[in-house]
Amino acid sequence: MSTVIATQAVAKPNPMANLDELVEQYGRVPAEHFRYCPGCGLGMAQSALMRAFQRLQIDMSQVAGAGGSGCYSIMGHYLNMGVLHGGHGRGAAMATGMKLANPHLTVVNLQGDGDSLSIGGNHTIHAARRNIDVTVVMFNNFGYGDTGGQYGATTPKGSFTETSPYGMPEEPFDACKLMIGAGATFVARSTVYHAVHLTKVLAEAIAWKGFSFVEVMQHCHVLWGKRNGMPKATDMLNYYRDNSVFSTPNLKREEQEGKFVLGVLHKQARPEFTEEYAKIRKLAAARAGGQGLSPLNTGGAV
């Protein structure tokens, strides 16, 4: 199987690259038309994602986007790629369908934390288990933003939300650990404060052969921040700055306590699903004397 990412990491990311140029090349809508809340982390995350595409010199005509429902959903429509907006949580299942039917495409699944870990948790963990070559970019804003800030599976314990006005009683997921456990072969975390790092891990994830997962800590100062003493976007960016550590082999457990551990947290290649599936089909075809199977739309890649 060929992949469109033939020229990985040719250009170094230029963090100061002209934004208009970037939007022109990798977007569909001028930046002044973006409908994120002022200061929202999603704009920063979108910029990092476009820079990651730029860094990979990716052919956008070969990128398919799948998304569910959440504040982030509109991002798919701002990017210069074919995107399908589905039901809440269904992104990973949509991405699986797109990729398996068209293995030559680069499939990016944008997700929210409510999408990915709550209502769509099932799809995400099974996509990871199969190691299908899709990239999940999960925007973690600590709850359900699109419906006005209710608590969800990533809301920090004890924090205040619309449905936990006196404190959230549950333990949140560590999304990256969950994905490692489910079998994802590339797992990374970054924040919108660490824009250069975020760009780098997104590019690496998209280029990765197999299921890759990037948790993007993306603040919502309007809903979560306001209720938790960080009402400005800058408060939350500082919060990420002051509460993050980069993953290193020597990082001690106590240094990770209560921190966002950033970096590529897991990377372990294993056979990719669409390729394994193609092998089985070849084997079956050989047994049937080349007569047994009808062709699937593989875009000629298999």
Partner 1 sequence: MTRTLLTGNAAAAWGARLAEADYVPAFPITPQTEIIELLAEWMQRGAMAGRIVMLESEHSMLTAAGAAAATGVRVFTATSSQGLLYAMEMLYTVAGWRVPLVLVNVSRGLAAPITLEPDHNDVLAVRDSGFLQFHCATCQEALDGVLLAYRLAEDARVRLPVMVNMDGFYLSFTREPVRLPEPEQVRRFLPPFDPETLYFRAGAPRSQGVAVLGGAQYSYFRYEAHLASLGALRVFEEAAAEFARLFGRSYAPLETFHTADAEFAFVMLGAFATKAKQAVLRLREAGWRIGLVRPRLLRPFPAQALVEALGGLRGIAVIDQNLSTGMGGVLCSEIGAALLRAGARPVVAGYVGGLGGRDIPVEEFFEMARETKAAAEAGRCPPTRLLYTEEELRQTRALQAIAMAE
Q: List interacting residues with partner 1 (CB under 8 A).
A: 28, 69, 85, 87-89, 117-119, 121, 144, 146-148, 150-153, 162-167
Through-space distance between the first and last CA atoms of the chain, rounded to whole angstroms: 6
15 or 87: CB nearest partner 1: 87
From the CB of 225, what's the least distance to partner 1, in Å? Answer: 18
Q: Least CB distance from residue 107 to partner 1, whole Å?
A: 20
Work out how close the CB of 19 gets to partner 1 at its nearest, in angstroms, rounded to a whole number.
Answer: 21
Q: Which is nearer to partner 1, 118 or 247 (CB)?
A: 118
Closest contact distance (angstroms) between CB of 164 and partner 1 is 7
Minimum CB distance to partner 1 smaller for 51 or for 88: 88
Asked if 189 contacts 181 with a C-beta cutoff of 8 angstroms, the reply is no
- In terms of CB distance, is 173 or 211 closer to partner 1? 173
- For 231-268, letters b (16+ CB in 10 Å) and e give eebebbbebbeeebeeeeeeeeeeeeeeebbbbbbbee
Cite the beta strand spans of the chain per DSSP E.
Answer: 63-67, 82-85, 106-112, 134-140, 186-191, 212-217, 244-246, 260-267
Q: How far apart are CA 138 and CA 150, in angstroms?
A: 18
Residue number, 89 or 225, with CB nearest to partner 1: 89
Shortest distance, position 90 Cβ to partner 1, whole Å: 10
Compute φ and ψ for 55, nearest 5 degrees.
Answer: -60, -35
